[in-house]
């Protein structure tokens, strides 16, 4: 009502002022200016009239007849027509201007501004609705996806598109949004393809899994019978093979029910065929570790126990050897002892194998012996004071216990049998070394003898 009364009141007031001036001071305003001054209150009257007519027609007559709000577009259209008529009348009758090009342009510009500013959204929806009606990108009963929502189209009006979701809720989209958004249309009665992913264990051969799954899908209601479902490997996952089921459906709104039915059938078919439904698995290897010190001592004791020449030693002595020994680890192929080097310790092999080598006459190394865990080496230089008689090289990763001169000396003092056993071993090894030496060519023997001689001379200060 304010829309009618306010412009009307202002217009009447202006008209009274205009009338008073015309009556009492006609010379104050000229004819031309007078026309424009009269046009202003008449414009106000026009606004009031347009609102009054619109109110009467739509809020009184239309509402009474139809029992609901009149469409906004009708109001807009009527307003446009009435404003145009009133403006033209004022322009022609009051301003007494001919209806030439300028008048039309001016009038239509005013109308455009009114429409543009006040009815932007409404007109946007209206024109989007018009384009939906003309282009028909979808029809009633089709399923459409707008954004994240899928629903069945129930109605399309000039302003909105109504969609019913699978939750049985109604979503009403303004047509301008429908026209603006990316739209996916699943036509009703069309063969719409759907992909469902299901897992199967790695141990099941794909051919078997594919056959079983395909049989399952074919029997599900609402899956289109016109096209045979396809099952294929979609991915090799972390804990399972993912199979893709491609099936076709004429009413896309059924997909969730169909998917659920397929999954349910698969559970039973897997069960009957002794196939477990895979779930993420992790293999964790747990290593049980004894307290480090106890473990080492026990093991070193054991290996010293296994050394033949230490048989005469008491348990305490063996324990003392184990505790005093220096533990070392060598990489495969490492030179542990070099022939000719001085040496004052011997080694017990705790882990891995070593090779005892002599250089041969043709320059290639010659294996004299291979020693295993529980064997010892380096005793010859230690006990005779001579340089190392051969190279000792690790064949694998080797762990040794090194026994120093002082420790061995104490053991020898207390155990005559140990000295006996050791000298036996040294003699045996020496004679083997001599055998290799005998196999040496004369030249090499001569060089070797010379070397020894020189060493003796140097030792006794004879050179």
CA–CA gap between residue 249 and residue 216 (Å, rounded): 15
Helix (H) or strand (E) holding 194: strand 192-200
Residue 72 binds to ligand CMP (criterion: CB under 6 A): no
* Residue 271: count of CB within 10 angstroms of its CB: 11
**In this complex, which beta carbon is closest to ligand CMP, that of residue 341 or of residue 417?**
341
Binding-site residue total for ligand CMP (CB under 6 A)?
17
Strand-pair category, 241-249 with 192-200: antiparallel
Task: Please select the residue that binds ligand CMP; options are 10, 15, 433, 440, rule is CB under 6 A.
Answer: 433
Residue 392 binds to ligand CMP (criterion: CB under 6 A): yes
Task: Please select the residue that binds ligand CMP; options are 38, 198, 356, 418, rule is CB under 6 A.
Answer: 356
CA–CA gap between residue 259 and residue 194 (Å, rounded): 9
The two structure tokens encoding residue 352: 């891995």
Q: DSSP E strands: which ranges in 73-191? A: 143-146, 149-156, 160-165, 170-174, 183-186
**In this complex, which beta carbon is closest to ligand CMP, that of residue 380 or of residue 418?**
380
CB of 430 to ligand CMP, least distance (A): 7
Place of tokens 């007849």: 65
Task: Please select the residue that binds ligand CMP; options are 7, 151, 199, 343, rule is CB under 6 A.
Answer: 343
Contact indicator for 329, 399 with CB cutoff of 8 Å: yes
Residue nearest to ligand CMP (CB): 381
Task: Please select the residue that binds ligand CMP; options are 157, 432, 440, 445, rule is CB under 6 A.
Answer: 432
Residue 262 binds to ligand CMP (criterion: CB under 6 A): no
Task: Please select the residue that binds ligand CMP; options are 156, 212, 224, 390, rule is CB under 6 A.
Answer: 390
* Residue span binding ligand CMP (CB under 6 A) among the ranges 87-95, 116-124, 169-177, 380-388: 380-388
CA–CA gap between residue 77 and residue 97 (Å, rounded): 26
CB of 206 to ligand CMP, least distance (A): 59
For the chain, the straight-line distance linking the first and the last C-alpha, in angstroms and rounded, comes to: 138
Contact indicator for 206, 199 with CB cutoff of 8 Å: no
Radius of gyration (Cα) for the chain, nearest Å? 54
CB of 374 to ligand CMP, least distance (A): 13
**In this complex, which beta carbon is closest to ligand CMP, that of residue 132 or of residue 418?**
418
Contact indicator for 367, 432 with CB cutoff of 8 Å: no
* Residue span binding ligand CMP (CB under 6 A) among the ranges 37-45, 49-57, 126-134, 382-390: 382-390
**In this complex, which beta carbon is closest to ligand CMP, that of residue 137 or of residue 333?**
333
**In this complex, which beta carbon is closest to ligand CMP, that of residue 204 or of residue 368?**
368
Task: Look at phi and psi of residue 458 and say left if phi exceeds 0, alpha if psi is from -120 to 50, else beta.
Answer: alpha
CB of 460 to ligand CMP, least distance (A): 22
CA–CA gap between residue 109 and residue 192 (Å, rounded): 49
Residue 377 binds to ligand CMP (criterion: CB under 6 A): yes
Residue 345 binds to ligand CMP (criterion: CB under 6 A): no
Which residues make up the interface to ligand CMP (CB under 6 A)?
A: 337, 343, 356, 368-369, 377-381, 388-390, 392, 429, 432-433
């Amino acid at each position: 009502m304010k829309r009618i009364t306010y412009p009307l009141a202002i217009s009447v007031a202006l008209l009274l002022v205009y009338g008073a001036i015309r009556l009492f001071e006609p010379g104050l305003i000229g004819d031309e200016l007078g026309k424009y001054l009269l046009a202003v209150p008449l414009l106000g009257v026009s606004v009031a009239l347009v609102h009054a007519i619109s109110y009467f027609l739509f809020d009184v007559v239309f509402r009474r007849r139809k029992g609901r709000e009149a469409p906004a577009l009708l109001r807009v259209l009527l307003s446009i027509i009435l404003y145009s008529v009133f403006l033209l009348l004022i322009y022609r009758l009051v301003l007494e201007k001919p209806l030439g090009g300028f008048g039309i342009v001016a009038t239509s510009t005013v109308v455009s501004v009114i429409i543009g500013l006040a009815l932007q959204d409404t007109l946007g929806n209206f024109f989007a609705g018009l384009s939906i009606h003309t282009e028909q990108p979808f029809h009633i009963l089709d399923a459409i996806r707008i954004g994240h929502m899928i629903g069945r189209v129930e109605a399309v009006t000039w302003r909105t598109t109504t969609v019913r979701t699978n939750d049985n809720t109604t979503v009403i989209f303004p047509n301008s949004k429908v026209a603006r958004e990316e739209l996916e249309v699943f036509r009703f009665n069309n063969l719409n393809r759907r992909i469902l992913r299901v897992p199967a264990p790695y141990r099941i051969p794909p051919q078997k899994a594919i056959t079983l799954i395909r049989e399952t899908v074919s029997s599900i209601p609402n899956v289109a019978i016109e096209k045979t479902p396809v099952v294929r490997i979609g991915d090799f996952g972390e804990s399972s093979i993912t199979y893709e089921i491609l099936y076709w459906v004429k009413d896309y709104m059924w997909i969730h029910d169909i998917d659920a039915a397929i999954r349910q059938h698969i559970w039973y078919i897997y069960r009957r065929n002794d196939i477990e439904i895979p779930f993420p698995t992790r293999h964790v290897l747990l290593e049980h570790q004894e307290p480090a010190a106890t473990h080492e001592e026990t093991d070193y004791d054991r290996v010293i126990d296994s050394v033949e020449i230490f048989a005469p030693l008491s348990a305490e002595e063996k324990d003392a050897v184990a505790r005093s020994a220096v533990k070392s680890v060598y990489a495969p192929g490492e030179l542990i002892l070099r022939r000719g080097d001085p040496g004052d310790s011997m080694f017990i092999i705790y882990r891995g194998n070593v090779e005892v080598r002599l250089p041969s006459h043709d320059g290639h190394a010659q294996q004299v012996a291979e020693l295993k865990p529980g064997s010892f080496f380096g005793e010859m230089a230690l006990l005779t004071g001579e340089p190392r008689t051969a190279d000792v090289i690790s064949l694998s990763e080797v762990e040794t216990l090194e026994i120093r001169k002082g420790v061995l000396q104490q053991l020898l003092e207390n155990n005559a049998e140990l000295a006996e056993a050791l000298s036996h071993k040294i003699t045996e090894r020496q004679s083997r070394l001599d055998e290799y030496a005998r196999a040496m060519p004369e030249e090499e023997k001569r060089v070797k003898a010379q070397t020894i001689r020189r060493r003796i001379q140097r030792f006794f200060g004879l050179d």
